[in-house]
Structure 1
Amino acid sequence: MEVITAHTNTDLDALASMVAAQKLYPEAVLVFPGKLSRNVEEFMSLHKDIFDIKDIKSISLDKVKRIILVDTKNPRRIGKLAELLQNKNIDVHIYDHHHWAEGDARGSVEVVESVGATVTLLVEIIRRRSIAISPLEATIFALGIYGDTGSLLFTSTTPRDVQAVAYLLENGANLSVVAEFLGRPMTDEQKALLRQLLMSAERHVINGCKVLIARATCPEFVVGLAMLTHTISEIERLDVIFTIVHMEDRVHIVARSNVNEVNVAEILAPFMGGGHPGAASATVKKGDINEIAEKIVRIMQDKVRPPLAAADIMSAPVKTVFPETTIAEASQVMMRYGHTGLPVVQGLEVVGVISRRDVEKATRHGLGHAPVKGFMTTNVITVGPNMPVSELRELMIENDIGRVPVVQDGRLLGIVSRTDVLKTLHHAEVKKPVKTVYVSHIRPQLNISEYLRKGLAPETWDLLQTAGEMAEDMGYQLYAAGGVVRDLLIGYGNLDIDLVVEGDGITFARTLGQKIGVKVRAHEKFGTAELVFKDGFKIDVATARVEYYEYPAALPKVETSSIKQDLYRRDFTINAMAVALNTERFGELIDFFGGREDLQFGQIRVLYNLSFIEDPTRILRAVRFEQRYGMNIEPQTLNLLKEAVRQNMLERVSNERIWDELFHIMLEPAAGKMLARLNSLQIWPQVFPGVTYWEVQPVLNNLHQAIKMLEEWDCPLPAEQWLPYMIAILHWSDEETALKICRRYNLNKRQTEKILVTLDKWGDVLSEVWRTPEEGRLGQLAQSVMALPRESYPLLLAVLDEDWMHQRLRRILTAIEYNKPQLDGKYIRQLGIKPGPIYRQALQALWQARLDNRVTNEEEEKQFLHQFFGLARTD
């Protein structure tokens, strides 16, 4: 006999887990070990005929061969069934989401993981095994997840719980039923207990955390203490809540934590409790509620970590302006350093704050010459360095302010912005204010040295270690930054290595180059250098720098700075990460702006609101990265991009810079998708004026596949791999439009000629290939195709949509390649012919002669060329 059971005072998660476990153990009997929670009682009163759940008194314990524990592994919580755990011959299987604690049972099967609800673990197994579930079962499982995660609002909720709910909804879970049983009104007993708890509530501040401890006594057991604790938490909005209630012969403790600094499961461990960092409970036999409350306070004083304070997240040193500084000057400082506001100081005293919004409004009204004192906010709220971030957050919300100066003894220490606070709210990495190295974070540093070792060639791995050792010796901090970190984290091949030095980048590059014996090219103006290896491989080395823009779309100015400012100047968060290479920190990920999290969530996000205004080419780059990696442009970033497009910001950028981005797009395997995205975002008309996207869309959609097919046919690919895309973009245009585009992007004469020849002839060539019978005419068809440049072959293949036409084109191209002349321009030069267009004409004629079988070998080729140029044979 097999038995499935849960804990006494069985709640919805326990019930749902029991029913789910029976899907895995269909022969097992469901047994309640004791009392049920009120929600479960009400549910069972309606559904008792559907589920055959037995009372513990109705089974014979001596017949049990296996016990399956769900939502608990604590023997004290399963009543009389705990006797089974003392029999070593009984097989024990455990499914639980509570952390392991002393005294817990062990089993031959143990599925114990930190999720919001135990039933989530069982639903995942059911899904993996493709076990069918009914809509009623899906509803019960959803009840368990919603019940134990506070409708997915508790801090213990994980993405796995949400994914499980989505699966259950797909299988017919009824949320109206869930809402009905979770939203039941309180009983009179629960209301009376809630009043006791609120009346007795004591507030403490322990190591900066606001804690509420509520006590009560009830002669009889009242179900739902966890629900009441959650209700108090919503009413009081404090960091931590403890409810301690003496009911019958036991004291029940329930705890909830809303902050990372307090792990309530750890606090209740001495009471043999269990749970999660954010939610835990314990039961103490014959305890005293006052003594328990005092003990909890003592434990918290030892265990609670001091919370993050303003000094931990502030930016320092602070850029400031004076009351007489002009609006134009303040705007330049903000743009230069990427700030959205600046303190205004008079001597050492903060007398005001000027925001970017204020500056922009004044500028629009033509008041750039006016002093900031006329526009600054003078009612300045300041905080001390030790104010907890939770209080600081409330202060900013209550006063609707975006930045708060941190002041001590009248001296400005730093400034905290909304962004700084939001990072702590969403568990992003937060730095301590130190001079050059930003390494102190809320959570432990992630070391990605294993990613480096696996993702880089052995010689590159060795080189980075050598470089890190040299930086250490020189007193510099060295980082690999940008795209290489991004691509290593997602396993995307990238050979581009960019090194950033907190120090003198050129001096470091020259020292390293001398050590490893490679050439160094220095660019003194920008503080950068290149290490150039014999095989052509290059590594860029740069001094950590900040870039600022004197006006929108301008080329950036450069100043030496720290790694944080160097990363802040970058386009997107996924490109604003670095990895430390110094020996002691080798492999340490530097991620100030949440780039790794954005990679995980697959989103492209700018670092600040004016990013697309200051450098509009980032519009094109955002599209390229989005489609290359299969990501999405983050909603706020997408709004900023669309606004920049509406303002025609790309018109302010040189055509050379736009072409550089388009060139890289046309080299990408996903170029067709990128070009389609340019159209959907209304960017297409700004980069290809006069070209109608829908006319060329079918070809662009098929072009990558056509290029792959040609490659599979062993047809030589064009040296300029971007040119087939440019031909496809312009193939429906008239000559005037095509010429304008070619001149706009400074294509050379040969490239332009290939485009214009294709425009003129591709339709006729395609028609001839389509209509002309192949038998005995292959040479003629090949000559027709040869009238087009090789870069237009993908266009022909992309237009053809039938397999037999693909195969005909393949035979034509094979004939062209097979009959390629053995002689080339070198032989013509030996004949004394002056180089020029005549070379191409001659070789084209020779090729056609081979296709017609008028020339079959090298000797006949020589004879043909002599005749073509009217020369007599002398050899």
Structure 2
Amino acid sequence: MKNCPHKLIVFPHNADLDHLGAARCMLLMNPDAAMLHPVRFHQNTWDTARRLDWFKTIKFENVDFASLQTVYLVGITHLKQNQEFIEAVAKFSPHIVVISDRSATLPFPVEAELCDAMSLTAWLVNRLRDKQLHFSSEDLQMFRLAVTEKTWAGLSARIKAEDHKAIAFLDRQTMQPGRIANTVVLGMHEGQTALYRQMLKNIEDIQPGYWPVTLIAIKVSNLVQDIEPVVDAIWSDISPPVLLLILTFGNFTRVWCRSSISQIDFRDVFADFRPGRMRNWIHFSFSGAGHEQNRSRVLQHLEKNLQPDLTAGDIMSASPQCIDWHASVRNAFDTMLKFNIMSLIVMQNGEFAGIVTRRDLDRALQMNLLDSEIGPYVPTSVPIVSPTTPVRVLKNLMVRYNLTRLPVLNGSEVVGIITTHELLRSLPDYLPLPHDFLPLAEQASLPTVAELEKLLKLVFSLRIYRVLQQIGRFAGQHGVNAFAVGGFVRDLLLERQNFDIDIVVIGDAMPFAIALSREFSCDYKVYDRFHTARIYLEDLKIDFSSARIEHYSDPGALPQIEFSGLSNDLYRRDFTINSLALSLNPEHFLELKDFFGGYNDLINRRIRILHSFSFLEDPTRLFRAIRFAGRFNFALEQDTQRAFELAINREAPEKLSLKRIGAEISRCLNEERPQQIVADLFSAGLMKYLSPEMLDADILPGRFKLIRSLIRRFKPLGEDIDSEAIFWTGILSVIRNDNTEKILDALGTPHSRRRLVLEALTVMKTVPAAIIKIEETDTTDLYYLLHELSLEAMLSLMAFSLDKRNARKILHFIMYLRGIKCEISGKDLIEIGIKPGPHMRRIFTHIIELKLNGSQFTREEELALAKQLYQNL
């Protein structure tokens, strides 16, 4: 029998909860409408819909299309979403309304209601609110389920303002929490209902890794086949953050688990059991000895593999600065200024007594108490936490007691301090940022451990991965925290190879590196002054340093060093892109630590200092800023550019020795594009600190920018060419006054390079005039002019002193004449009876001249010729 509704609501194939919620909204707006029976629903959507009183549908074959006046297509925008219905209705002419978030392409004209929301239900709920329609508790619960599923509980990146508006409205409504679940329960068969009630009687709370886990572990006498409605009902009724269900029948155990906490992924926790996934549930089964033994097995696995909640030990700044109870207020002030910190741990008789902050000292200063003991003014009633205190507890303590700092004690030993900075960094973002504020606050998401593991194996090798893994495992076994830091981490994220591996150890790095070298059975070297060490692992050199804090007695001076925590160690770095760290300890292996936004700066290709006095504190950072900007094609961030210009205006590089300036320029000369970086050094006004004449890059020889390509041209020779010596030759060749040797000495130039540079500068004054007079066919004169010169000197001549015609003569010499030499030596001549003397030189010269003119001799022929020449003398 045909049904004759005038209005019809139609679902797409495979409709989800959002489509069901949208259909309910349309039904509330049009109470006289009917719903077409769906061809397919998502399983959870059908489980919900079939138990709702209002979900009454008509089948396709019972629709009287001729009587239809209005059709509402919920989320249908193209033919294949419900082809049978669309082809049928196209033969008639009802008014078609499409409710969707995108434009429709259908074979007939439609009225489009474009929803500016991710969830159709959210958009329609907001429209219904405008009409002041009443919602039942069941409707509100169903709407919440629909919007939550569609928007990923509000966490989707595509969520819009209308979605937020609906979520906020639904969160404010009073509704029975288990309404939908109870509807499901009422439809369960007797065995499911009995199981549901047994579960509710066996709820217990456990805290593995300080996480709030609700455990239900029961032994059943009858195995229930269709358990999914039961576990859904339990989840809906008690609404726990984390739920673990263990059901044992005989020796057979089934486990269902679910978490609303993003940090807990049960697929990883129970990976050994090869779990399956059903909607939001992770489930698996196994056989064992019995209920108690199987329960213990699951819980032991949970304890072992569930990453603990963040604790004070994970986020604290280790090795905080301490001061004695009897020290003066003035001493406390000086210590804070020295280490650029805002609080000090106060110790009395070797035990923790309290914390004094800069604000406390400012009050003492106002009262003229600078020379008083600090002890009487130290607040002592401060909550004390241990390294295992969860971050959630720290937050509660700070809010409750209005604190900005908390001391961390391991027994009676002060091991760290936590400020609001560390706490805020550690708190996860459960919701995406509002779109209106994204330009202000959006940061690039840090790569996950899995992504970094894949990247490490791709950029480097499995060997490097395993070495880092071994170092981390060794650190964990010895109760030490170790981190890969600096350029290695930066270049890994940029997918560039960098085998200069730097490891920071919280504590003293020297004994750790020595013990590790024994583990690896390799050599090591220690540097007592800086508490650093290096191990030599086959072809790898791995540097170890203690996490430390630096302070500068004067601008440009070398830093003084004391032990510190990781964040303080990274804060002393030159730029944010070099302040990244990778945890190596097994429990946090390859977790990226980014305290200062370095990863975001890498993504945005910018160089940024960590504080505004950075360039004044260490002017060598001016050279490094230019070098890194040139190497990575980055730009200086706005405040960094302003600080750079301020340091130049204040002549900060004048504080540097010529040796330190030369070392920074040398590093620039070893980059892939040294000519561009040197030009940038000129533009920044930094080269004048090498010599006052260095004001403009135009002063350099015209072919200075071609040195790198010139050197590459001679790479097939297979000889080591000191490119830095050639670059320095070009730079120093433009200095007018004759103090090149003094400059090279002041630069601390290695002896071998110093000799090459001086040789090149000397021949650049003498060889050009001589080589012009030599004809291209005169190989003998060309040979004797050049044969004693180093390859670096000849390349310097070609680059800086000669025109193309005469440069070709040197090229001809290098390619064809430079290798010509005698096969015999003076010792060979003595052995055949020729007495030592000047005639030996004449013999060698004669043989070489014959070779230059095309003759070729074996060693025996050279000996015979030498004997003949000697007899003819």
TM-score, normalized by length of structure 2? 0.54
State the distance in 1 between where 2:488 and 2:519 align. 23
Question: What does residue 502 of structure 2 align with?
Answer: 498
Contact 2:823/2:859 (8 A) holds in 1: no
| Matching residue's letter, 1:723 | A
CA distance in 2, matches of 1:329, 1:515: 43
Matched residue, 1:642:
645
Alignment of 1:108-507 (within 5 A): 245-247=129-131, 266=148, 276-277=158-159, 279-281=161-163, 293-294=173-174, 330-336=333-339, 338-339=340-341, 353=359, 405=404, 415-416=419-420, 446-447=449-450, 448-507=452-511
In structure 2, distance between residues paired with 1:545 and 1:564? 9
853-862 or 448-457, larger mean C-alpha shift: 853-862
Q: How does 1:553-572 map to 2 (within 5 A)?
A: 553-572=556-575
Q: Distance in 2 between matches of 1:716 and 1:820?
A: 18
Question: Corresponding residue for 1:436?
Answer: none
> Structure 2: how far apart are the matches of 1:634 and 1:455?
28
Which residue does the alignment assign to 1:235? none
Q: Which residue is equivalent to 1:792?
A: 793
Which residue does the alignment assign to 1:834? none
Contact 2:406 2:417 in 1 (8 A): yes
| Partner of residue 812, structure 2 | 811
Q: Decide whether the 8 Å contact of 1:573 with 1:607 is kept in 2.
A: yes
Q: Is the 8 A contact 1:573 1:598 kept in 2?
A: yes
Q: Which runs of 5+ in 2 are unaligned?
A: 1-8, 10-71, 88-97, 104-113, 136-143, 179-235, 242-259, 263-308, 385-390, 408-415, 433-443, 833-837
Deviation at 1:538, TM superposition (A): 2.0
- Local SS of the residue matching 1:587: coil
798-807 or 571-580, larger mean C-alpha shift: 798-807
User: In 1, Cα distance between the equivalents of 2:674 and 2:558?
Assistant: 27
| Pairwise CA distance, 1:481 | 2.0
Counterpart among 610, 613, 626 of residue 613 in structure 2: 610
Q: Counterparts of 1:596 and 1:580 in 2: how far apart (Å)? A: 15
In structure 1, the residue matched to 2:601 is 598
The equivalent residue for 1:76 is 74
**8 Å contact kept, 1:531–1:540:** yes
2:726 to 720, 724, 727: 724
1:818 aligns to what SS in structure 2? coil
Is 1:519 aligned to residue 523 of structure 2? Answer: yes
Greater mean alpha carbon deviation, residues 803-812 or residues 479-488 = 803-812
Tell me which amino acid in the other structure corresponds to 2:487. G
Displacement after TM superposition at 1:315 (Å): 7.0
CA-to-aligned-CA distance 1:297-318 (integer Å, 9 cap, x gap):
999x999999x99x99997997
Q: Is the 8 A contact 2:787 2:818 kept in 1?
A: no
659, 664, 687: which one aligns with 2:667: 664
Please give the alpha-carbon distance, in whole angstroms, between the structure 2 residues aligned to 1:86 and 1:786: 87
Aligned partner of residue 722 in structure 1, secondary structure: helix
- What is the distance in 2 between the residues matched to 1:556 and 1:828? 62
Q: Distance in 1 between matches of 2:627 and 2:843?
A: 40
8 Å contact kept, 1:547–1:557:
yes
1:461 to partner: Cα distance? 3.1
Hey, what's the Cα distance between the residues in 1 that align with 2:429 and 2:847? 67
Give me the whole-angstrom Cα distance separating, in 1, the residues matched to 2:842 and 2:613.
Answer: 57
Residue 755 of structure 1 is matched in structure 2 by 757
Structure 1 Cα separation of the partners of residues 461 and 830 of structure 2: 44
* Distance of 2:830 and 2:465 partners within structure 1: 48
Matched, 1:87 2:83: yes
Is residue 776 from structure 1 mapped to residue 777 from structure 2 by the alignment? Answer: yes
Q: CA deviation at 1:654?
A: 3.3
Matched position secondary structure for 1:276: coil
Distance 2:403 2:756 in 1: 61
Instruction: Say whether the 8 Å CA contact 1:465–1:583 is kept in structure 2.
Output: yes
CA–CA distance in structure 2, aligned partners of residues 461 and 270 of structure 1: 35
Contact 1:574 1:599 in 2 (8 A): yes
- The separation in 1 between residues aligned to 2:784 and 2:630, in whole angstroms, is 39
Mapped contact 2:704–2:800 kept (Cα < 8 A): no
Partner of 1:676: 679
Indicate the larger mover: 477-486 or 754-763. 754-763
Contact 2:706/2:799, CA 8 A, preserved across alignment: yes
Among all aligned residue pairs of Structure 1 and Structure 2, give the percentage whose two residues are the same amino acid: 22
- Residue 574 of structure 2 aligns to a residue whose secondary structure is coil
CA contact (8 A) 1:406 1:415 kept: yes
How much does 1:87 deviate? 1.0
Q: Is the 8 A contact 1:723 1:791 kept in 2?
A: yes
**Aligned pairs for 1:539-554 within 5 A:** 539-554=542-557
Mark the CA change 1:808 to 1:541 in structure 2 (over 3 Å): closer, same or farther.
same
- Structure 2 Cα separation of the partners of residues 511 and 849 of structure 1: 63
CA positional deviation for 1:263: 13
Q: CA 1:386–1:669 in structure 2 vs 1: closer, same or farther (change >3 Å)?
A: closer
Q: Secondary structure at the match of 2:129?
A: strand
Q: Measure how far apart 1:517 and its partner are.
A: 1.7
Give 1:591 deviation, angstroms. Answer: 2.1
What SS class does the counterpart of residue 636 from structure 1 fall into? helix
Indicate yes or no: 2:654 matched with 1:651.
Answer: yes
Can you list the C-alpha shifts for 1:691-728, whole angstroms capped at 9, x where unaligned? 453210633322222222232xx345554331011001
Q: Give the AA of the match of 1:246.
A: D
Q: Aligned to 2:723, what secondary structure does the other structure show?
A: coil
Deviations along 1:653-695, one digit per CA (max 9) or x if unpaired, are 3333333322222222221122111111111101344345321
Alpha-carbon spacing, 1:696–1:511, altered in 2? closer, same or farther (3 Å): same
Distance 1:86 1:529, change over 3 A: same
Q: Is the 8 A contact 1:478 1:499 kept in 2?
A: yes
Report deviation, 1:827: 8.8
* Change beyond 3 A, Cα 1:785–1:449: same
- In structure 2, relative to structure 1, the CA distance for the partners of 1:458 and 1:733 (3 Å cut) is same
Report the secondary structure of 2:596's partner residue. coil
Contact 2:549–2:561 (CA under 8 A) maintained in structure 1: yes
Matched, 1:734 2:736: yes
In the alignment, the residues of structure 2 paired with residue 624 and residue 845 of structure 1 have an alpha-carbon distance, to the nearest angstrom, of 49
* Contact map agreement 1:728 1:795 (CA 8 A) in 2: yes
Does the CA contact (< 8 Å) of 1:513 and 1:519 recur in 2? yes
- State the shift of 1:752 in Å: 4.0
1:792 partner amino acid: A
1:247 is matched by which residue type in structure 2? K
Unaligned runs of 5+ in 1: 1-7, 9-73, 92-102, 106-116, 120-143, 150-155, 157-224, 230-241, 252-261, 363-367, 394-402, 430-440, 832-837
| Matched residues, number | 603
Q: Compared with structure 1, are the counterparts of its residues 295 and 487 closer, same or farther at alpha carbon in structure 2 (3 Å cutoff)?
A: same
Name the CA distance, whole Å, in 2 between partners of 1:804 and 1:798: 13
Query: Shift of the alpha carbon at 1:509?
Result: 2.2
SS of corresponding position for 2:633: coil
Q: Is the 8 A contact 2:730 2:800 kept in 1?
A: no
Q: Retained in 2: the 8 A contact 1:510–1:520?
A: yes
Q: Is the 8 A contact 1:816 1:851 kept in 2?
A: no
Distance 1:808 1:90, change over 3 A: farther
Asked if 1 retains the 8 angstrom alpha-carbon contact of 2:721 and 2:791, the reply is no
Aligned partners of 1:339, 1:621: CA distance in 2, in Å?
A: 26
Shift of 1:267: 8.5
CA distance in 2, matches of 1:584, 1:423: 16
How far off is 1:814 after superposition? 0.7
CA distance in 2, matches of 1:774, 1:782: 12
Aligned equivalents of 1:865 and 1:748: distance in 2?
44
